[in-house]
Structures are given as structure tokens and as C-alpha cells.
Copies of this chain bind each other. A is one copy, B any other.
Amino acid sequence: MYEVRTDLALEAREKFEEDNVEIKGVRLEEEEVAGDIKIVKVVIETENGAKAMGKPRGTYITLEAPNMIDEDEDYHREISEQLARMLASLLPEGSKDMSVLVVGLGNREVTPDALGPNVIDNIMITRHIIKEFGTYALGEEHTRKISGIVPGVMAQTGMESEEIIKGVVEETNPDCIIVVDALAARSTKRLNRTIQITDTGINPGSGVGNHRHAINQEAMGVPVIAIGIPTVVDAATIVTDTMSDLIGAMAESSRLKGLGGTLETLDEMEKYELIRELLSPHLNAFFVTPKDIDEAVKRLSYTISEGLNMTFSGSFFKQA
């Protein structure tokens, strides 16, 4: 089966819908909330489900808001609120003095990859103040010890993000970790319009080509929540999809009827082999991103950082 690169569980799930396949061990819940926001929860409950989806067991919550990238008074407070609500549902029960390490993955120098670092710039960091002056130094709203780090990318540091984070975790002992990262989607239509929140952390797929190691509870020893927004599509994906459409169109074209007939005799496997042969392997070194990505990343990073600040200030937390 031709493997499509997507970091979104929602898109991995949709592939099966297209093929009218049901997947055991994968549960879907949908919810519409005010502000034209759609929330889809994909829960992978079994190892079989995980294998079929190509993603580890756990909960993947997707917020879709078509107007997420439109200019707003400031940063789409209603989306930040839903993000805070969803995030709180995945976080461990939060005692008033729990500590959270927020990690901004990605490369600050590459616009669509700067989402994580930008988020760290705008969250309210409190750990050092509470450590020095006590839990109520900042008022009743800010009793949780929040720390943040931007580990950078391997070309800049020579180290895996996972090595840096693990070291920091061992030295500072947070109760949980929240990782923010820019994602790759399969469809350009999802770019900058979707937030995924998952309790499975970061789990780079096999064969994806990047050598990021897992940043999850198993590796870190504490719960890891990952928040991501797709900001790029792999160049190979966009080309594959359009070629697939072309073959489909030929099969249906009246003008190209005979041709369509011939193509229909190709099975899926043969079609994808044809495409793969034509795909320059060097396309793997390229990504596709919207021309207004600078404005989008700037606005989206506020939406996330405000959602995090709301979460940490406590109103959305389950109290221990």
C-alpha cells in the first residue's frame, strides 16, 4: 500500500473512509461547538488499530475552524478556549502546584517550522518565580510552575531534540510535558486550519526521512501531550495526489474512453508504481507551504499560546 505522509490522525482515518474500510479498534467522536468549530476525537484503542492507522494507541483530538487564519481582533479567543478545554481533558489531574515543561519544536529560521518556537515566546513562564518566592507569588491564578524550552533542530545543535529534552526533564523534573510542533498534512486544504492535540506525544513514522526520535511518555517518564498545526505538505504528496486525480479523470473521460478502460485494468498497486517511478526522489527534499505563511504562523502561535496560558491559569484544569 502506498504510504501517504500525514501527521494528522484525522487524515490517516479518512483514507479508510475513502476506501470504505472499517477499522476495528479505532473510535470516532464528533462535536460541533460555537464559532463554527468542529471537534473530532479519534481514539486508537487497540494494537490492531494502531497498526492500521500507522500511529500509536491514544487519543487524537482535532479542532477544525475554517476561519482560523482569518484576521481577527487579535487571535481568535474562541479557538484558544476550545484548545484549553481539550488540553485540560488530556492533562493529568492538575494539583495547584504541578509543574509543566512546554517544548517548542522546530526551526525558528524556517517560517512554517517556527510555530513551536513562537509559542514559547508568548507563554507566561512562572517556574523560576514560584521556585524563589513560593506558590502565591503571582496570585491565585498562577500557581503552576511553567517552564519552556526551544531545543532547535539537529542541523543547528548537532543533537536530537529528544536528547536535549530528556536531559532537561531529568534535571528539572516536570510533572508533564507539552510539545508544540508544526506538522505535515496530506491536503493543502487543512494547512493552518486544524489543531491536533494528542496524549501520544511525538512519534515520527518509519521511513518519513527525518530522524527525530520519539518524545513520548515512554521516553520521558512523564505524560507528554503534543499540540500541532499542519503548516506544510510534502512536495511528493501534492504531486502524487494530483497524478492520482489525473488517472481517475482519464478513466472517466468520455474523450479518453478507451484510455480510461485501459487504466481501469491497472489495480491500485500498479497505479501507484507508475506514479512512484515518475516521482523524482529529490522531491523529498522539498515542502509546499502557503505564500502568506508568515502571517499565518504569527497568528496561530498566539492562538496556541493563549490557549496554553488559559489552561495554566487554572480555570480549565480538573482539580486534584
- Distance in angstroms between the alpha carbons of A295 and B154 in the assembled complex: 13
Q: Give this chain's copy count.
A: 4
**Which one of A7-15, A52-60, A271-279 is at the interface?**
A271-279
Q: Nearest CB to that of A170 among chain B residues?
A: B167
Q: Is A246 an interface residue (CB 8 A)?
A: yes
Given contacts A242-B243, A286-B288, A286-B289, contact A159 B172 (CB under 8 A): yes
Q: Is A98 an interface residue (CB 8 A)?
A: no
- Distance in angstroms between the alpha carbons of A156 and B129 in the assembled complex: 12
Residue from the set A164, A169, A263, A283 with the largest chain B CB neighbour count within 10 Å: A164
Given contacts A109-B111, A146-B158, A149-B157, contact A282 B172 (CB under 8 A): no
- Which residues does chain B contribute within 8 Å of A280, judged by CB atoms? 188, 242
Interface of A is mostly: helix
- Distance in angstroms between the alpha carbons of A75 and B221 in the assembled complex: 38
Contact assessment for A278 and B246 in the assembled complex, using a CB-CB cutoff below 8 Å: yes
Chain A residues proximal to chain B, CB less than 8 Å: 71, 74, 107, 109-111, 120-121, 124-129, 132, 145-150, 152, 154-160, 163-164, 166-172, 188-189, 211, 233, 235, 238-239, 242-243, 245-247, 249, 253, 256, 258-259, 262-263, 274-275, 277-280, 282-283, 285-295, 298
- Across the A-B interface, give the 3 residue pairs with the lowest CB-CB distance, nearest first: A167-B167, A127-B158, A147-B158
Given contacts A145-B158, A167-B172, A249-B274, 9 further A-B contacts (CB under 8 A): A110-B111, A146-B158, A147-B158, A150-B152, A155-B295, A167-B167, A188-B235, A188-B280, A258-B262
